Amino acid sequence: MPPPRLCLEALSALSGCDVELTVGTSQLSPQDFVNVVALKEFYKQEGFKQLEYPSLGTMSLLDQDQDQDQDQDLYSSPGALTEGPSTAGPEESLRAKMKINPGDFFHQQYDYDFTQVTDGDKTFLRGNESYVRPCGWSRVALRVTQRYDSGDAWLGTGKDAWPVSYHGQNMDGSLGIIATHKGSPSDAAPKFLEAAAAIAVAGETRGRGVYSTPDVKMAEKYCRKFKSKVDGKTYKVVLQNRINPEKRQKCQREDVWLVYVPKGHNDVQTRAIVQESIRPYGLLLKEA
């Protein structure tokens, strides 16, 4: 396992929160953490300024790209935003603090070093669907076993397991903007992302929701980067999840999945959809 403080830096980069070490109980569970990451991206897409989350309070959605490398901020949401789920407090300087105890948040027993692994033509399945392992990355396991009433079958390798998806974070914002893009072709985003969003704007989905991908290479293109104060190196960070196959919409491209959030849903309903649909189990790190 990488140094705990490096892992907390990675959590800070993903969440836009100041993640601090504690010897007490972690303020959030891994499930709460992925909820925060996904909801911040979703509400930012929707044009909100702030997100209210239990135990964290009000978080700004305006400053979460400040630490990004310039080339990773090509598809950030525009500056003029409407009122968000919460209107309390200052609008541009709310950076929530999150206290995490590595002992109850991470599960070192299931860490796996893929940095020197190459799978070649090998194939792997999770939930009878292809699993592209994160070769080249180091996986820090999250403590998620025996945390759900339905048991741990979702985390296994059998037919009841959920497929694997990767959350590159910025991918959500880019696809959301493309799905509602009305500019000229000259200022449109890359063609492959337009194709990915094409099915999302058809029928009843209209691209409104949380995006992830079964392809770790695609997630890497939209991942967060951060420079560690622990060793001075720059890292990429991605969340490795399992996604509920009954809640997932497949887009035109096989490597883009959408968890749809219907219009009219309030904050509690939206959070429930994310919690029922996406479960994290790994924090992936890779030197940039």
* pLDDT tens-digit readout, 21-51: 999 999 999 999 999 999 998 998 888 999 9
Look at residue 60 in the predicted model and tell me its pLDDT.
Answer: 87
How many domains are there within the chain? 1
Look at residue 170 in the predicted model and tell me its pLDDT.
Answer: 66
Q: Which tokens hold the place of 80?
A: 């003029």
Query: Whose CA is closest to 28, among 276, 226, 280?
Result: 280
Helix ranges, 57-108 (H): 102-105
Whether the Cβ atoms of residue 178 and residue 193 lie closer than 8 Å to each other: yes
Flag residues of the chain having pLDDT under 70: 63-94, 170-206, 252-253
Please spell the DSSP secondary structure of 130-153, one letter per residue.
E----TT-EEEEB--TT-STT-SG
CB atoms within 10 A of CB 4: 18
Look at residue 189 in the predicted model and tell me its pLDDT.
Answer: 40
* pLDDT tens-digit readout, 258-279: 899 998 999 999 999 999 999 9
Range of the domain at 270: 4-287
Give every CB contact of residue 68 below 8 A, 6+ residues apart in sequence.
76, 170, 224, 225
Which residue is associated with the tokens 């490096």? 6
